Amino acid sequence: MSDCASLQALHLHTLPLPSSLFILFSLLFSYPSFTASLYSFYLPMAESSPAERKTVTIDALPEDLLVGIFDMLCLRDQTRLAACCTRLRSIKQHKVSAKFDAVVVFWCYKALKKARCMIHGPKDEGQFEIDESTQRLFERTRTNTLEITIKSVDDRPHRILSPLFNSLQYSSLEIDFTVSEEHNIPLLQNLMANRDLNEASFAIKWSRAMHEDIERIRDFLVEFPIVKSLDLTWIYWGANSESLSTEVITDVVLLYLVGRSREELIVGEGDCTVGGLMHVYDGMNNTRCRLVRVTVRREIAQEFHQTVDEPDRRVFVFLGKNTSHELIAMQQIVMTKQPEKFENWSYN
């Protein structure tokens, strides 16, 4: 086939105008090398001629390949490889994200602080002290779960963990405050700041909340961002313990949280009215939230259950078993758009 015939076969008319012009000019000014010009239009050119090309060494591989190689290593091996030379060190620091299955922090009273990072299964787990270098470790890090237990009555967990996890991305945050402390909420706020939490799940546990926590927890909850799911757990201690959650989870707070939970909302005990629960029930029809669990006074639960219109509805309501708290009979309510999951669940 002649070059003229190949011109037709190359379908220049299908190329964008500037490209066609470029090829035609290549043809006019360099007819014998036309075919080569056309290929070079599609193929990236060599950075240097073969004769000039130097031997490839591991540290001179293109950056995207080195990032790919780092990604195939566990964090421990990534760190060791980065200690090899300045280029690998720089790529590790600026381009490679560490991935953990879980980052688990247990903070005890006397500054006993331990972080355990589980990477690619339990075999590679590492446990280390938190210091400046550890802080750098979390600069470009993603974890499935960030699990924190705080057992401290001062602001150190907030002071140290907030900057440490400043840019740590997580899919799920599980945090347990085993003591009442005014910096617990600021720590939570910092762990949630500047992140896209739309796909994140939250499990927040207040094991020993005190009366002074009520106001700040409520203020925190009514500012809650949109998340995938939210599970609030409250533990009550001793015979004279009080249900603080009923003072936090009011009609207004519950309705607000339904609008912020894309899939599930579990809140523990609430001081809700039948009217408030009806608002939540109606609100679920207008949101993507498919499950709400709240425990209320038994008579409220029963009345709400009778009030809800039975037929032709997307949301179904189930009542859980009776419980009691502070000698008050309570009953759990589940409102769900997936009733099949609760068919054998009702205790009614």
Partner 1 sequence: MVLITLVSSDEQNFPVERELLKQSGTIETLIVNMNLDDEDTDAAAMPIPLPNVKGDVLEKVIQWMEHHKGDPVKEGDNEDNNAEIVVPQWDDDFFKPAMYGSKHLELTVAASYLDIKNLLTLSCKAISNTFKGKTGPQIREEWGVPNEFTPEEEEAIRKENEWSE
Task: Provide the binding-site residues for partner 1, judged by CB under 8 A.
Answer: 1, 6, 9-11, 35-36, 38-40, 42-47, 49-50, 55-59, 61-62, 64-65, 68-77, 79-86, 89, 120, 126, 128-129, 133-134, 136
- Residue 115 beta carbon to partner 1: minimum distance, rounded to whole angstroms: 10
Task: Identify the burial level of 296 via C-beta atoms within 10 angstroms of its C-beta, where 0-12 means exposed, 13-18 middle and 19 or more buried.
Answer: buried
Residue 18 vs 238, nearer CB to partner 1: 18
Residue 89 vs 195, nearer CB to partner 1: 89
Residue 7 vs 214, nearer CB to partner 1: 7
- Strands 141-150 and 98-107 come out as parallel
- Residue 334 beta carbon to partner 1: minimum distance, rounded to whole angstroms: 35
Residue 131 vs 223, nearer CB to partner 1: 131
- Residue 128 beta carbon to partner 1: minimum distance, rounded to whole angstroms: 4
C-alpha to C-alpha distances, 163 to 93, 127, 139, 159, 267, nearest whole angstrom? 17, 19, 10, 7, 29
Residue 199 vs 326, nearer CB to partner 1: 199
Residue 17 vs 45, nearer CB to partner 1: 45
Contact 157, 107 (CB under 8 A): yes
Positive or negative, the CA dihedral 150, 168, 185, 265 is negative
Residue 118 vs 301, nearer CB to partner 1: 118
Report the alpha-carbon angle 265-214-280, nearest 5.
30
- Strands 201-206 and 227-234 come out as parallel
- Residue 73 beta carbon to partner 1: minimum distance, rounded to whole angstroms: 5
Contact 248, 214 (CB under 8 A): yes
Distance CA 103, CA 326 (A): 37
Residue 64 vs 215, nearer CB to partner 1: 64
- Residue 16 beta carbon to partner 1: minimum distance, rounded to whole angstroms: 12
In the numeric block, which tokens belong to residue 85? 């030379």
- Residue 226 beta carbon to partner 1: minimum distance, rounded to whole angstroms: 26
In the numeric block, which tokens belong to residue 24? 């035609």
- Residue 109 beta carbon to partner 1: minimum distance, rounded to whole angstroms: 24
Residue 37 vs 180, nearer CB to partner 1: 37
Report the alpha-carbon angle 329-254-244, nearest 5.
50
Torsion from C-alpha of 280, 282, 286, 290, nearest 10 degrees:
60
Neighbouring-strand partners of residue 169: 142
- Residue 94 beta carbon to partner 1: minimum distance, rounded to whole angstroms: 16
Beta strands, E only, the chain: 98-107, 113-118, 126-128, 141-150, 169-177, 201-206, 227-234, 261-269, 291-297, 316-325, 328-336
DSSP per residue over 31-90, as a string? GGGHHHHHHHHHSPPPSS-TTTPPPP-GGGS-HHHHHHHHHTS-HHHHHHHHTS-HHHHH
- Residue 112 beta carbon to partner 1: minimum distance, rounded to whole angstroms: 17
